[in-house]
Amino acid sequence: MITAAIMRRQAGSISMSSFSDDQAKRVDLSDRFLGTLLGSAIGDAFGMPVEASSAEQIRDRFGWIESYLPRTDSQGNELEAAGEMTDDTEMMLCHVESLVSTGGLVDPENTGMRFLRLLNSESRRFMGRTTIESLERADQTGEFQDGLGGERRAGNGVAMRVAPIGLIHSVGRFNHEVFVREVMRAGLITHSNPEALNGAVAIAYGVRLQVTGEVPPDVLGDEICSFIDEDTVSRKIREAAHLAAREGLRLDDNDAHLEHLASIGTSGYVAESVAAAVYCAIVARQDLRKGIELATNAGGDTDTIAAMAGALIGAHAGASSFPLDLVEGLAGRAYILVAGPGLYETAMQRAGLYVRLHQR
């Protein structure tokens, strides 16, 4: 498990014995912020090697994936090293950087310019078609609220990256209108399809619920559906919640879980992938490894589903609960270990609260 030593290496030693109850709660909240970002990145890297493979192909080739693997081509040549992240994490971190730079406010141009830097780098190879085409157009027009829409644009390219907005809105008084508006502004940089945006609201709101602990994980799906618009996204999440609540379902019954995920669907279609991530978060509760294993071994859009599931689980469990091998095997983890506390302090400042940690 990760210990507090990880955060001490980044921000100095923290003396828990000197904390008031309120301060201790703030440290727990900071741990959940870090858990959200780190859980998403871990899920992304865990699912990356088998993206677009079916559950059957994964089973035939690997049996059951339970650790980071490299991504290889059909001849076995390594394309990506084990533990490498994709655009899912990189675009999420663009949101983190932008939010920190603006004092916690969503600024589409600020974020969009960061996306353009990714577009013009090696990260482009991971990006979805709608994201690429929208950013190319924004690069020409300078307009970052004109994401592409249309029936075939209902992907998960927004949902995969908006967890930081859920985090920002988990501190202080919650204004649902401001929250939805900010998720929409973040989404419209690349997507304007209503389902793509609704799926993003679902993940961001789910992260907020998990961080604040307002509801237990077993009712997470129902609570999300009561908040978002009624469409295929909400219907799929309800289906996922119903399957996760089946009487007698055991966490170790992998066959049953994969059957449920196959029923929900694990494609890049936002209604399926968001619902699949919610399913994994509900059944795994605070067990990050189990949640991302299920998301990965189910096949389909494995990196994105595991990333969203990891964010939801990490928001509830906190980074201090994560298995050490998953953290140490993650490429680029040092940056996230700084980004988490940085976003937490930004959220506290936006809410008008003061962070005071006893340093020694």
Q: Is the pLDDT of residue 320 over 50?
A: yes
- 336-353 pLDDT, tens digit each: 999 999 999 999 999 998
- 255-280 pLDDT, tens digit each: 999 999 999 999 999 999 999 999 99
The CATH class of the 5-10+17-63+85-350 domain is mainly alpha
pTM: 0.92
Task: Please give, one letter per residue, the 3-state secondary structure of 34-75.
Answer: HHHHHHHHHHHHHHHHHCCCEHHHHHHHHCCCCCCCCEECCC
**Six-digit token string for 136:** 């190319």
Distance between CA atoms of residues 54 and 43, nearest Å: 17
The ranges assigned to domains in the chain are 5-10+17-63+85-350
- 176-219 pLDDT, tens digit each: 999 999 999 999 999 999 999 999 999 999 999 999 999 999 99
